């Protein structure tokens, strides 16, 4: 894993970092959307009518974006110099600090003891998931997906329950199995994006064609999905979502830049 992230040109490593950000944010986005199914659906498509969501505040999405970006950049940046264990640990801690700083500064974030506790949860869960990815790296690209989802999801979900319940002397909630299942689904999404990343590194070790484009486009899609879900299910106003809208606009600009770079890289060189 460390070698795959460390090799290649600067552009290739940036492309892998963008895919890592997308992988981490896909996991976080699923948890922040809080999706569940009701017994009976309505509308022309019953299955879609059964879907319900309770999206978290947009500021929580911004905190998750900051955490995902810092974690991925630290992983790719240190992979060339540090061992895998220390690289993953440093990335998890750096991402947790980024989450805490962002959440503490935003109006919809946390403060005080709750901020510290949630930051420790984020560091622990991220470290466990990244460790499961590193351990399953020896498996095939797609064979690693269920391994990471089950092992990493169960470990991350259990760590959150330990922080929120066990440390306070409270029993686990009745829906703890559902919480573990939600975590496993989110980690499975992360593992799928990591499998795509592994394909770019094995197919062309010196370049990651489209990595930056896929990463930024995916982040833009996740942000738009959260905005739409918040409007439909939570009734967010434009004022509630203003900061996330600005982040979405910035992602749109980055996607355009990545698209131009991808088109330039794909165009054949003309001899002078």
Question: Could you tell me the residue range of the domain that residue 168 belongs to?
Answer: 2-27+56-260
In sequence order, what are the beta bridge partners of 226? none
Lowest-confidence segment of 129-133, 134-138, 149-153 by average pLDDT: 134-138
The answer to whether position 49 is within a domain reads no
When comparing pLDDT for 7 and 187, which is higher? 187
pLDDT at position 43 is 53
pLDDT at position 271 is 46
DSSP letter assigned to residue 170:
-
The answer to whether position 79 is within a domain reads yes
Nearest-angstrom CA–CA distance, 240 and 242: 6
Entry pTM: 0.86
pLDDT at position 39 is 56
Residue 66 confidence class, pLDDT cut points 50, 70, 90: very high
The answer to whether position 124 is within a domain reads yes
pLDDT at position 207 is 46
pLDDT at position 134 is 92
Q: What is the dihedral of CA 237, 256, 194, 143, to 10 degrees?
A: 100
Nearest-angstrom CA–CA distance, 43 and 52: 13
Domain count along the chain: 1
Looking at residues 245-252, what average pLDDT do you find? 89
pLDDT surpasses 60 at 158: yes
Render pLDDT for 182-191 as a digit per residue (tens, 0 to 9): 999 999 999 9
* Contacting residues for 125 by C-beta, under 8 A, at least 6 apart: 156, 157, 159, 160, 183
When comparing pLDDT for 113 and 182, which is higher? 182
**What does the mean pLDDT of the chain come to?**
83
The answer to whether position 226 is within a domain reads yes
Render pLDDT for 30-60 as a digit per residue (tens, 0 to 9): 999 988 766 555 555 555 556 777 888 888 9
Lowest-confidence segment of 47-51, 124-128, 150-154, 193-197 by average pLDDT: 47-51
pLDDT surpasses 70 at 91: yes
Looking at residues 59-74, what average pLDDT do you find? 93
When comparing pLDDT for 233 and 134, which is higher? 134
Of 62, 96, 98, nearest in space to 226 by CA = 62
Residue 108, CA distances (Å) to 63, 158, 174, 271 in order: 10, 26, 28, 55
pLDDT at position 255 is 85
The answer to whether position 191 is within a domain reads yes
pLDDT surpasses 60 at 222: yes
Question: For the chain, what percent of residues have pLDDT higher than 90?
Answer: 38
The answer to whether position 267 is within a domain reads no
Lowest-confidence segment of 48-52, 55-59, 151-155, 268-272 by average pLDDT: 268-272
When comparing pLDDT for 234 and 67, which is higher? 67
The answer to whether position 271 is within a domain reads no
The answer to whether position 36 is within a domain reads no
pLDDT at position 21 is 93
pLDDT surpasses 50 at 201: yes
Looking at residues 187-215, what average pLDDT do you find? 76
pLDDT at position 128 is 95
Residue 166, CA distances (Å) to 162, 171, 205 in order: 5, 6, 45
């Amino acid at each position: 894993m460390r070698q795959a992230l460390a090799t290649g040109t600067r552009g290739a490593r940036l492309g892998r970092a963008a895919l890592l950000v997308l992988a981490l944010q896909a996991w976080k986005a699923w948890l922040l959307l809080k999706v569940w199914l009701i017994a009976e659906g309505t509308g022309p498509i019953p299955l879609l009518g059964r879907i319900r969501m309770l999206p978290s505040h947009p500021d929580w999405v911004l905190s998750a974006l900051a955490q995902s970006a810092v974690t991925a950049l630290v992983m790719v940046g240190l992979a060339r110099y540090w061992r895998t264990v220390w690289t993953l640990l440093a990335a998890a801690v750096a991402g947790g600090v980024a989450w805490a700083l962002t959440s503490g500064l935003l109006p919809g974030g946390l403060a005080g003891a709750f901020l510290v506790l949630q930051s420790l949860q984020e560091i622990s869960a991220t470290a466990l998931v990244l460790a499961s990815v590193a351990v399953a790296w020896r498996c095939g690209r797609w064979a690693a997906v269920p391994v990471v989802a089950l092992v990493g999801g169960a470990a991350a979900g259990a760590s959150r329950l330990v922080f929120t319940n066990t440390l306070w002397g409270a029993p686990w909630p009745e829906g703890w199995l559902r919480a573990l299942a939600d975590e496993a689904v989110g980690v499975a999404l992360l593992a799928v994006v990591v499998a795509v990343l592994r394909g770019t590194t094995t197919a062309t070790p010196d370049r990651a064609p489209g990595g930056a484009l896929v990463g930024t486009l995916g982040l833009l899609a996740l942000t738009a999905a959260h905005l739409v879900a918040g409007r439909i299910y939570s009734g967010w106003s434009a004022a509630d979502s203003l900061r996330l809208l600005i982040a979405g606009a910035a992602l749109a600009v980055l996607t355009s830049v990545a698209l131009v770079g991808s088109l330039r890289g794909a165009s054949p060189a003309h001899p002078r």
